[in-house]
Each structure stands twice: as structure tokens, then as C-alpha cells.
Amino acid sequence: MLRCTIFRIMERGFANSKNDMIDLSEWKPEYSVGNTTLDNQHQKLLQLCKHVSQYQCDGTKASIETFHSILSELAFYAERHFELEEDVLRRVWYPRLQEQIQEHDAYREWLTEFLCVAMHGNIDKSTLQNYLEQWWVGHILDSDMQYSCYLKK
Ligand SMILES: [Fe+2]
């Protein structure tokens, strides 16, 4: 189960105490941003986060290849999502588009660095899992919720 403590969201008022946990393992209508394709992409990305949390490295070549395959999927689907999201937001003249782009760039930068380290055989699954869970929950429930009213107009 994907369970996350999200301090950034709590700061912005989505949760009330640092003990609050947000569970995105099952998609709920309130997570929708008002665009079916973007919602489907968010669901796919959360599934990939779940794959990371379920991944167990047994040190075999096959296991390491599985991890790299999940990482590649994370990079690929995130890129597709960011491209579409930025395009949709540009079309509705979303005033905070630049903040979204900066957030996307920060994710790209972090994942690229992680991929470089992982390619040299250093697989830090828990760091990746924590970053992904916090980043995607913050992205979907906080940053993206802010533009949902522009898509529903
Ligand atoms: Fe998004």
C-alpha cells in the first residue's frame, strides 16, 4: 500500500497534523484535476510509485534489470505527462504555469541524477521511494489541484 506523510501538503493545509497519512493506492474522484487524460497519467504514475515500493532487490541481474526498467518507465511516463500538462495549461492561460514548469524541471533533474547513480550499481530504493511518494502526492493533490478550476471552466 502506498502511504505517505506529506509535510509540504500539510503546510498548505491539506492535512492537519504531522501524523496524517495520505493514501493514494486507490484512485478517488476527488483526486481528479478535471481532465481525463491527465487523471489517467496520474494514476499510471502512482502505479509506478507502487511498483517501486513493492520492489525487492535480491542482488540478481534480473532483479537489477527490473529496477532499471521501473526507473525508465518513471522517466518516460513523467515526461509524457509533463509535456501534456504544460500544453493544456498553456492553452487555458494558467497564470502559474511557470511554477509548474519549474516543479517539473526539479523532478527531471532529481530523477536524472538518481538514474546516473543507479547506473553505477548504487540502488537506493528507500530514497527513491520517499522522494517519489512525496513528490507525486504533492504534485497531484497540491500543485495540480490549483489549476483544476481553470480546466473545469
Ligand atoms: Fe500532473
Distance 82 CA to ligand 1 centre (A): 7
Annotation: CATH topology of 3-151: Four Helix Bundle (Hemerythrin (Met), subunit A) (1.20.120)
pLDDT at 1: 35
CA distances from 82 to 38, 62, 112 (A): 9, 30, 15
Q: What residues have a C-beta under 5 A from ligand 1, the ion?
A: 85, 144
Q: Please give the Cα distance from 141 to 99 (Å, whole number).
A: 15
The predicted pLDDT at position 4 comes to: 36
Residue 20 has pLDDT above 80, yes or no: no
Band (24; pLDDT cuts 50, 70, 90): low
Q: Is the pLDDT of residue 15 over 80?
A: no
Q: How far is the CA of 57 from the centre of ligand 1 (A)?
A: 29
The per-residue pLDDT for range 64-80, each reduced to its tens digit, is 889 889 999 999 999 99
The whole model's pTM is what? 0.81
**10 against 63, higher pLDDT:** 63
Cell digits for 49? 510509485
**Residue 146 CB-density burial (10 A; 0-12 exposed, 13-18 middle, 19+ buried):** middle
Give the model's pLDDT for residue 91.
96
Ligand 1 centroid, distance to 116 Cα (angstroms): 24
Report the C-alpha gap between 78 and 143 in whole angstroms: 15
Instruction: Give the separation between CA 51 and CA 45, rounded to whole angstroms.
Output: 10
CA of 38 to the centre of ligand 1 (A): 7
Task: Give, to the nearest 10 degrees, the angle between helix 125-138 and helix 97-119.
Answer: 170
Kindly give the distance from the C-alpha atom of residue 128 to the centroid of ligand 1, in angstroms, as a whole number: 19
CA 82 to mean position of chain CA atoms: 10
What is the distance in A from the centroid of ligand 1 to the CA of 72?
18
